[in-house]
Structure 1
């Protein structure tokens, strides 16, 4: 709205200065030329508005298609972060009476695969790369825990860092696509 108001003010200013210069210089114009120039400028403005509208509609369609899967994925990543933080501090988890939810990991894996395999073509390449990288890091951590004797605490810390990074990237993409810039 601010840009529209600023553009209107600048437009009126330029129009008034131009009109004043024409009147002071005592220049005469053929009205057919002026009419054609006005029509050409109006057509150009209409084309720009149409292009912007089509671009916005495409972005809105992509958001509507991806919205559910991205919000579900963000929710599961947040839940996994919470579970990981509580696993890192078992005393606190015991004090608050927290029962670990082991289903979150299978749900997260399933939602990640859905996002990559089904909706990946409708997401930005950057986000898809971050999701793939996060999935790869999780698989590496899993393999290191079971085959290379990685300490559970270190595995949880690496997993937490990985998920927090993914959560940040998901929030940025959701904010951008939904039109709500934070």
Structure 2
């Protein structure tokens, strides 16, 4: 709104200066030619406004379609990050014979299913960076699981590697949500 008002004020000022200069130098104005120029400028402005509104509408549609999945995935990742930190703490406390904190085991299995669902169903509506990040997460998660199953790495190291992957994926999803939702940082 402010830019529209500013544009109107500048346009009014420029037209006053132009007409003043024309009257000072006693130039005649061809009204037909001036009318055609004004109509052409108005057409260009209307076209620019139309294309901008179409771009915003497309972005809004993509957000409306992705909103539920992205917010649910972000929540699940935050739960998995919290659960992973608790598990790391439990493993470190077990070394000192302290009590373990309870962890919801669904936090880990939900992530794999939701990321797989997002990649299989919503891939065309996600940007390339997010798709790459989710694919990388899946690959790394599988590698970590194989390494744990073959006793190449211990549980604590596996949880730390998973925590890193969760945080990277969570950051990518948050960035995509920020871009696609159109909400500015408060």
TM-score (structure 2 length as normaliser): 0.89
1:26-175 equivalences under 5 Å are: 26-90=26-90, 91=93, 98-175=101-178
Distance 1:165 1:7 in 2: 43
Shift of 1:2: 4.2
State TM-score, norm by structure 1. Answer: 0.90
Decide which moves more: 114-123 or 3-12.
3-12
Residues 1:43 and 1:81: Cα distance change in structure 2 (over 3 Å): same
RMSD: 1.9
Q: Could you tell me how far apart the structure 2 residues matched to 1:6 and 1:160 are?
A: 49
Distance in 1, matches of 2:2 and 2:171, equals 29
Q: Deviations over 1:75-95 (max 9, x none)?
A: 110000000011111149x76
Could you tell me how far 1:148 is from its partner in structure 2? Answer: 4.4
User: How many residues are treated as equivalent by the alignment?
Assistant: 180
Alpha-carbon offset, residue 63 of structure 1? 0.5
SS in 1 for 2:153: coil
- Give the SS at the match of 2:180: helix
Unaligned runs of 5+ in 2: none
Distance 1:83 1:130 in 2: 21
1:119-150 residue CA offsets vs partner (Å, 9 max, x unmatched):
01111111111111111111111111112421
Instruction: Note the C-alpha offset of 1:16.
Output: 3.0
Unpaired runs of 5+ residues, structure 1, are none
DSSP 3-state at the match of 2:54? helix
SS in 1 for 2:184: coil
The alpha-carbon distance between structure 1 residues 144 and 8, as it changes in their structure 2 partners (threshold 3 A), is farther
